[in-house]
Amino acid sequence: MTTDALFQHDGAHVVPTEFSRGPWTPDALHGGPVAALLARAIESLPTDEPMHVARLTVELLRPVPLVPLSVSVTMARPGRKVQLVDARISTGDRDVAWGRALRLRLQPPDPEMSGVAGTDPGTPPGPKAGHGSPSPIGPYRAFHNAGAEILYVAGEFASSGPATVWVRLAVPVVPDEEPSALQRVVAAADFGNGVSSELDFAHYMFINPDLTVYLQRPAVGEWVCLDASTRIGIPGVGVAQSALWDLHGPIGRSVQSLLVEPRA
């Protein structure tokens, strides 16, 4: 029986563990575990037709605390071909995160439609070619240093500029449940701004209040690759973008808005 996980069950609630903590403060969660928890809720809503989550948008309304959390899910827009599914995470009567998924109906196999067929020649070097890179912030146990494994094939955590990293969950989202492909991808995608930072962690914060992930197909395997870059725009605003891969080829893209400000 596995007890280590990002969240533990507590009756009708889930309780975050230290594996889910974020880099900016030990008192709030990393966006990756929050996104994975929302994805899990969305996947729990059954469908009559086979569906694929083509887009998942996460709104991080406020710092998500390490307290018992309620998770709920509703069908916002039913349909045979296109659906919108909403999930929310709350503490008491206050929402702390929202998720909205666009689900599209799958078609029968068609040789004219692309799929996973061997390894794409453009796929970055695999995780075996990567190396660890110590995080310059958050020395306590947290998602970025204990809840996930991050291997760099280009760039470094402590240096600025674009980076290419492979990420996999080191613990499941909840105990004794294999994380789904969607949960693995959205948890990894939230690292985009951190691994491709353009500013010094010691002097600036660049927090993402949102995350949007587009997926052309489900990921295969445990490892998800981010080819990530960050651009700072007008003062206080930035955008991080990541091309997403698995060991077979491209799977989609992710985008994060960034609130950029000097550290107090």
Q: pLDDT category, 139, cuts 50, 70, 90?
A: confident
Instruction: Tell me which of 61 and 114 has the higher pLDDT.
Output: 61
Is residue 203, in this structure, part of any structural domain at all? yes
Is residue 118, in this structure, part of any structural domain at all? no
For the packed helices 181-189 and 31-43, what is the interaxial angle rounded to 10 degrees? 150
Is residue 77, in this structure, part of any structural domain at all? yes
Instruction: Tell me which of 264 and 4 has the higher pLDDT.
Output: 4
CA angle 39, 40, 46 (to 5 degrees): 100
Range of the domain at 237: 7-107+123-262
Residue 166 is predicted with a pLDDT of: 98
Is residue 113, in this structure, part of any structural domain at all? no
**SS3 state of residue 144:** helix
**SS3 state of residue 37:** helix
Count of domains forming the chain? 1
The pTM (predicted TM-score) of the whole model is: 0.95
Is residue 144, in this structure, part of any structural domain at all? yes
Is residue 28, in this structure, part of any structural domain at all? yes
Is residue 117, in this structure, part of any structural domain at all? no
Write out pLDDT tens, residues 146-192: 999 999 999 998 889 999 999 999 999 999 999 999 999 999 999 99
Is residue 114, in this structure, part of any structural domain at all? no
What residues are paired with 167 via a beta bridge? 150, 224
CATH classification at residue 154: 2.40.160.210
